[in-house]
Amino acid sequence: MARTIFEFNGFLLDSGEQRFQNDGNDIVLPPRVFAVLKVFLENPGQLVSNDELMQAVWKETFVEEGNIRYCVHSLRKILGNGHIETVPKRGYRFTADVQAYTADEFIRKFAVAPVEETQRRDLSIRVEPKHKRIGFAALVALGVLFLFLRVPSGGEDPPIFQPSRELQYDRITASGRAFFVGLSRDDQHAAYVVHTEDNRYSLVLHNLPSSSETTIIAPQELQIFNIQFSPDGKYIYYSAHNAASRLAVFRIPLYGGPPQMITDGLAHCFSISPDGEWLAFYNRIPEANVHELNVCRSGDCSKHRTVTTRGDGSGFVIWGASPSWSPDGTKLLSAAFSKNEDGGPARHHLIEIDLATGQEQPIAAPDWHSVHQSYWSSGGNEIMALVREDVGDPVQIWRLKYPSGSAERVTNDSSDYREFRPSSDFSFLIASTWSKSENLFLVPVSDPRSAQQLTFDVAGSNGAWGIKWTPDGKQLLHTKANGYQTGDLWRLNLETLESVQLTFDKDTLPLSIDVMPDGNSAVFSTNRTGHRHIWQIGLDGTNLRQVTPGDGAGHPEISPDGNWLYFSAKGLWKMPLEGGEAVQVLAEGTTNHRISPTDPTKFIGHYHDPAAKEQPYKLALFSEIENAKPRDLNIPGRLVEWKLDGSGVYYVDSSGESFSNIWFLPLNDTKPVQITNFSDQIISNFSLSPNGRTFAVSRGSAVGNIVRIDLRK
């Protein structure tokens, strides 16, 4: 398909590069929203029917028309009023004046000076952000914002524009389905994972100088992450689940070949020593509440030893991070957290660990809220790290002088950087950007294609951390997060779609909602006092009170008879709702537990099984009165809801990076049945209606892309 650049009211859309900008600033659109906008721009002033949009954007996929409404609502929020006209019962009309150009036409029209064909490589056109909505052509002449041009080898069209920052950005992917990234030690290759629409994973090798790409692992079922290049550049190591769903480490020749399993049973992430001989990784021992830092031989994980451990409320940042090696291979750099003796949240910081002795030393750094993956420079005098500066902030990339501790922020945008790899000389980095916003949907159990969208936020998160129906089925209580660990409790009227905010707390987020049987109040978990406890609130927002005492509690659930409050706090507990002492039900902790609607002594819970030889984290069926081992349900994920007759459970699979679905598992040992058939958007939470006919679902697009950031000024 021919490449076209569309311009309207200061906006630019490049159909070839899949890029969208306003005044030179990149705007990340979910893939379907981008596709809808492209259809509008290809048909300016014309009626585009719902059927035409369905055919152009969703093709053979069966989706509800609410998906179109969501895309249009998202575009209206971004573009402002006056761009998209609704034609009732027929479709939409894009009313703005649209100009369309080929790449050559765009260059000839907007270049400050004539551009010779031999000059097109590495040429920048300068434009200035619009002021008081002056015309786009005038912006070009004023010359402040970079529109970066590059002609790749092979005669491909060049990218047209680039974000307006001091840093130079070069987007490697634009599909929204690229996750996790690795960088070779010679800075010549990047590798990344693609999650396909049929729920498979491939591994792509990208040559940075030429931009050529090779798929070295064709789409397959095992989820791939934590990509590491061997120091000699001959192999790519990665983590994946093996056939028994247990984490394992594999390696594959640089340009493809049969994968070789190095070892299984390692934690989520690992790193390779500078000489290529050792792997460093964390291990979590839940029953002892201890984190280990381990090393083993890279060929077969022999000579395994524990370097150091942390416990008693302190540990390592394990999920999505690995220890990194000093240039001489004698130390490990780790993101860690330490118990706060004042009883507040744990403090996050960087530490260096002597590989021979296990001795820890703190690294001077600002008082960040949290720190994740970090790397030493090749000279050992700098550190680059993923950092969340404060509650509610996105994860950004920082640069730290070692050992002085002076720091500066490298990136400064609203993206969450999920992963990154710096070049050997810190002159550029390859990063994985990730964005996600959740909205509320009603999904009929018997006809999921007739889903109805209830909220239309393009930023923020509705219901991801808690969602629950009122007993009469007329309202939903849900969390609404506006940043990391910040948000409040809201009530949504399903007849009028009117929303009412119930809590007004700063720098905290309510979790895990349940509604009392009388429908007058709800319970939820919050750390609004510095410790997480169960609180109760009236559905009109009054009578807020703390329910649980002690050091902390979470995951509240009301028993079906309305007599007991169940909660997690160093085990599973229950306490009478009318008052009285709490009683321990299980010594082992469970999360996301759900009590059977027909037998209050039985419940489903997510727990850690220390005796498990394969996957230790499980969803299992428990009995409060029978002294028997929990029954492993052998299903993925954590989110479950009982069918009202107690015959089975609905659950959300958790295997997808960019989409997920609801399944039903009968408890009579038959196979699971897939309920929904979504090919986009992640389900973050769900709740079954009181009549058992409809799911309330928190669902949103997870957009991942790979970008190169040049740090030279």
pLDDT of res. 342: 65
- In this structure, the dihedral spanned by the alpha carbons of residues 287, 292, 296 and 299, taken in order and rounded to 10 degrees, is 60
User: Which CA distances in Å does 41 have to 19, 193, 464?
Assistant: 14, 31, 33
Asked if the structure places residue 10 within a domain, the reply is yes
The distance from CA 190 to its chain's CA centroid, rounded to whole angstroms, is: 21
The continuous run of DSSP H or E covering 643 comes out as none
More confident residue, 298 or 344: 298
pLDDT of res. 701: 80
Q: Is 532 exposed, middle or buried (0-12, 13-18, 19+ CB in 10 A)?
A: buried
Contact 597, 644 (CB under 8 A): yes
Range in 96-105, 147-156, 448-457, 560-569 with the lowest mean pLDDT = 147-156
Q: How far apart are CA 663 and CA 637, in angstroms?
A: 11
Asked if the structure places residue 21 within a domain, the reply is yes
Sheet holding 461-469, edge to edge: 461-469, 475-483, 486-493, 499-501
| DSSP result, 586-603 | ESS--EEEEE-SS-TTEE
Mean pLDDT over 660-668 rounds to: 92
Longest alpha-carbon distance in the chain: 83
Number of domains the chain is built from: 2
Q: Say which residues have a Cβ less than 8 Å from residue 97's Cβ, sequence separation at least 6.
A: 8, 9, 44
pLDDT of res. 277: 95
Tokens representing 166 are: 């001091």
CATH of the domain at 10: 1.10.10.10
pLDDT of res. 344: 65
Asked if the structure places residue 273 within a domain, the reply is no
Q: How far apart are CA 550 and CA 581, in angstroms?
A: 12
Q: How far apart are CA 573 and CA 584, in angstroms?
A: 4
Q: How far apart are CA 392 and CA 508, in angstroms?
A: 9
Average pLDDT of the chain, as a whole number: 83
User: Which CA distances in Å does 116 have to 4, 152, 645, 713?
Assistant: 20, 16, 74, 26
Mean pLDDT over 164-186 rounds to: 84
> pLDDT grade, residue 315 (50/70/90)?
very high
Residue 624 has pLDDT above 60, yes or no: yes
User: Which of 603, 623, 645 finishes a domain?
Assistant: 645
Cα four-point dihedral sign 112, 116, 117, 122? negative
User: Which CA distances in Å does 612 have to 540, 608, 638?
Assistant: 46, 9, 17
The continuous run of DSSP H or E covering 199 comes out as none
CATH of the domain at 489: 2.120.10.30
Residue 392 has pLDDT above 80, yes or no: no
pLDDT of res. 479: 93
More confident residue, 159 or 561: 561
Residue 663 has pLDDT above 70, yes or no: yes
Tokens representing 229 are: 């290049």
Mean pLDDT over 373-396 rounds to: 91
Asked if the structure places residue 155 within a domain, the reply is no
Q: How far apart are CA 387 and CA 431, in angstroms?
A: 14
DSSP reduced 3-state for 145: strand
User: Domain of 23?
Assistant: 5-149
Identity of the highest mean pLDDT range in 192-201, 449-458, 681-690: 681-690
Q: How far apart are CA 179 and CA 169, in angstroms?
A: 18
Residue 681 has pLDDT above 60, yes or no: yes
Q: How far apart are CA 329 and CA 467, in angstroms?
A: 48
> pLDDT grade, residue 130 (50/70/90)?
very low
Residue type at position 405: G
More confident residue, 443 or 59: 443
Residue type at position 360: E
Residue type at position 689: S
Range in 25-29, 323-327, 385-389, 531-535 with the lowest mean pLDDT = 25-29
First to last CA, the chain: 36
Residue 135 has pLDDT above 50, yes or no: no
Tokens representing 201 are: 């994973």
> pLDDT grade, residue 128 (50/70/90)?
very low
Residues of the chain with pLDDT > 70, as a percent, come to 86
pLDDT of res. 362: 94
pLDDT of res. 612: 63
Residue type at position 507: D
- In this structure, the dihedral spanned by the alpha carbons of residues 172, 173, 174 and 175, taken in order and rounded to 10 degrees, is 180
Asked if the structure places residue 540 within a domain, the reply is yes
Range in 22-26, 138-142, 520-524, 554-558 with the lowest mean pLDDT = 138-142
The continuous run of DSSP H or E covering 386 comes out as strand 382-388
Residue 169 has pLDDT above 70, yes or no: yes
Q: Could you identify the residue written with the tokens 């390696």? A: 251
Of 276, 285, 278, 306, which Cα lies nearest the Cα of 294? 306
Q: How far apart are CA 86 and CA 89, in angstroms?
A: 9
Range in 155-164, 216-225, 381-390, 427-436 with the lowest mean pLDDT = 155-164
User: Which of 612, 645, 678 finishes a domain?
Assistant: 645
DSSP reduced 3-state for 335: strand
> pLDDT grade, residue 153 (50/70/90)?
very low
Asked if the structure places residue 37 within a domain, the reply is yes
User: Which of 149, 171, 195 finishes a domain?
Assistant: 149
Q: How far apart are CA 143 and CA 128, in angstroms?
A: 5
Residue 651 has pLDDT above 60, yes or no: yes
Residues written for the chain: 713
Q: Read off the pLDDT of residues 517-558 as tens digits, 9 standing for 90 and up.
A: 999 999 999 988 878 899 999 999 999 999 888 777 888 999
Asked if the structure places residue 518 within a domain, the reply is yes
Q: How far apart are CA 507 and CA 230, in angstroms?
A: 42
Tokens representing 291 are: 């984190």
User: Which CA distances in Å does 387 have to 139, 314, 367, 398, 572?
Assistant: 36, 19, 10, 7, 34
Mean pLDDT over 307-333 rounds to: 93
> pLDDT grade, residue 278 (50/70/90)?
very high
Identity of the highest mean pLDDT range in 110-119, 538-547, 569-578: 538-547
Asked if the structure places residue 507 within a domain, the reply is yes
Mean pLDDT over 127-154 rounds to: 34
Q: How far apart are CA 462 and CA 510, in angstroms?
A: 12
pLDDT of res. 123: 31
More confident residue, 134 or 214: 214
Mean pLDDT over 43-60 rounds to: 85
Residue 105 has pLDDT above 70, yes or no: yes
pLDDT of res. 313: 82
Peptide bond into 403 cis (omega under 30): yes
Identify any residues that bridge with 511 across adjacent strands, giving them in sequence order. Answer: 525
Q: How far apart are CA 605 and CA 620, in angstroms?
A: 6
Range in 234-243, 588-597, 608-617 with the lowest mean pLDDT = 608-617
Residue 111 has pLDDT above 70, yes or no: no
More confident residue, 577 or 63: 577
> pLDDT grade, residue 641 (50/70/90)?
very high
pLDDT of res. 267: 61
Residue 133 has pLDDT above 60, yes or no: no
pLDDT of res. 414: 73
pLDDT of res. 168: 83
Identity of the highest mean pLDDT range in 214-223, 258-267, 575-584: 214-223
Residues of the chain with pLDDT > 90, as a percent, come to 45
| DSSP result, 225-241 | EEEEE-TTSSEEEEEEE
Q: How far apart are CA 174 and CA 399, in angstroms?
A: 27
Mean pLDDT over 38-67 rounds to: 79
Q: Read off the pLDDT of residues 290-310 as tens digits, 9 standing for 90 and up.
A: 899 999 998 888 898 999 999
